[in-house]
């Protein structure tokens, strides 16, 4: 019953998120730079779970947000995420040929254009997020909401740059191909917290900030993102070994090929599963302390722990 009810809710909410994202994609302006726009949209339109904008949408509404200022931020976080996937798949990093069930951007448009399309998406994410001010512009009572937008922009930058995702990715790259078990648990946790969790913390936190939640609630969303993010990455490690390439839409055994230390190489599949389950329990316990209707989010967190794609 719960599966049916929340499964349907997930479908509806993902469709809303999808519409928002597509509304903010760059269109064809009839100019010479057609290819880069096409390459940007190719990966954005290839699908994906849309988890990050969905989490932002949930957190925004959980804390009572009612305006459209969240929408450009939802599109922006998906653009940043997609930029990271395009660059991560490049021959210089993971050298993967399949993403979201389709040939990777560099496989279709060539390496130089994929590099540029990734850069352009990262930049366009901020151009898009700034559009939130268009919803408050000229309003007499805009000051408070503008303050929230500024704080959300600051958070977006912090979580994705050298204090966030890119810090994690840089340490990951630095330690790659140094052989299994060359990284200890502390270093691996650092990489996962920064490379993956920061981009899950960001939408949960930004949703709460934009809705005008208290500082303690914003911290709570951050904490939640840390737990969900780590569980999500460890499940990714597991799926790289046990998953199905067609269902995942990306190659399996990529970690082995790149000689990466993962939770599976450190703890084995069963040990990694136990860790996902324990982090998921902690995330659910945290959500149970949050006032408001968190039933769907709790279901989603559990669903992510059992995901097969």
* Interacting residue ranges for ligand GRG, rule: CB under 6 A: 48-49, 51, 84-85, 87-88, 93, 100, 165-166, 169, 195-196, 233, 236
Q: How far is the CB of 237 from ligand GRG (least distance, A)?
A: 9
Q: How far is the CB of 29 from ligand GRG (least distance, A)?
A: 27
Decide whether 64 or 110 has the Cβ nearer to ligand GRG.
Answer: 110
Q: How far is the CB of 172 from ligand GRG (least distance, A)?
A: 7
Angle at 169 between CA 151 and CA 181, to 5 degrees: 140
Closest CB to ligand GRG belongs to which residue? 48
Decide whether 217 or 237 has the Cβ nearer to ligand GRG.
Answer: 237
Find, among 106, 112, 113, 146, the residue nearest to 130 by Cα.
146
Decide whether 196 or 294 has the Cβ nearer to ligand GRG.
Answer: 196
Alpha helix stretches (DSSP H) within the chain: 2-23, 34-44, 51-62, 70-89, 105-109, 111-130, 142-160, 165-175, 185-192, 198-211, 215-242, 245-248, 254-257, 263-288, 295-305
Decide whether 204 or 211 has the Cβ nearer to ligand GRG.
Answer: 204
Q: How far is the CB of 94 from ligand GRG (least distance, A)?
A: 7
Decide whether 98 or 287 has the Cβ nearer to ligand GRG.
Answer: 98
Sign of the Cα torsion 150, 152, 157, 163 reads: positive
Full DSSP string of 242-272: HS-HHHHTS-SSHHHHTT---HHHHHHHHHH
Q: How far is the CB of 159 from ligand GRG (least distance, A)?
A: 11
């Amino acid at each position: 019953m719960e599966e049916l009810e929340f499964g349907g809710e997930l479908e509806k909410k993902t469709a809303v998120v999808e519409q928002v994202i597509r509304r903010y994609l760059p269109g064809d302006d009839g100019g010479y730079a057609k290819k880069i726009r096409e390459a940007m949209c190719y990966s954005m339109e290839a699908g994906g779970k849309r988890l990050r904008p969905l989490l932002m949408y949930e957190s925004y509404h959980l804390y009572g947000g009612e305006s459209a200022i969240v929408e450009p931020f939802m599109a922006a976080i998906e653009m940043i995420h997609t930029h990271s996937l395009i660059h991560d798949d490049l021959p210089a990093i993971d050298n993967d040929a399949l993403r979201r069930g389709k040939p990777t951007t560099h496989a279709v448009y060539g390496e130089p254009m994929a590099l540029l399309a990734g850069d352009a998406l990262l930049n366009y994410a901020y151009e898009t997020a700034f559009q939130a001010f268009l919803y408050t512009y000229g309003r007499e009572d805009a000051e408070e909401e503008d303050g929230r937008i500024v704080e959300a922009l600051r958070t977006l930058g912090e979580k994705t740059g050298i204090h966030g995702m890119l810090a994690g990715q840089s340490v990951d790259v630095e330690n790659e191909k140094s052989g299994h078990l060359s990284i200890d648990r502390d270093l691996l946790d650092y990489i996962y917290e920064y490379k993956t969790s920061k981009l899950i913390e960001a939408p949960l936190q930004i949703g709460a900030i934009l809705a005008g939640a208290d500082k303690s609630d914003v911290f709570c969303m951050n904490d939640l993102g840390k737990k969900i993010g780590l569980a999500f990455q460890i499940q990714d490690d597991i799926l790289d070994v046990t998953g199905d390439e067609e269902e995942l839409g990306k190659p399996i055994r990529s970690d082995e090929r790149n000689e990466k230390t993962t939770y599976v190489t450190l703890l084995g599949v069963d040990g990694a599963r136990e860790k996902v389950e324990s982090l998921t329990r902690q995330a659910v316990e945290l959500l149970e302390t949050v006032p408001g209707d968190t039933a769907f989010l709790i279901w989603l967190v559990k669903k992510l722990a059992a995901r097969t794609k």
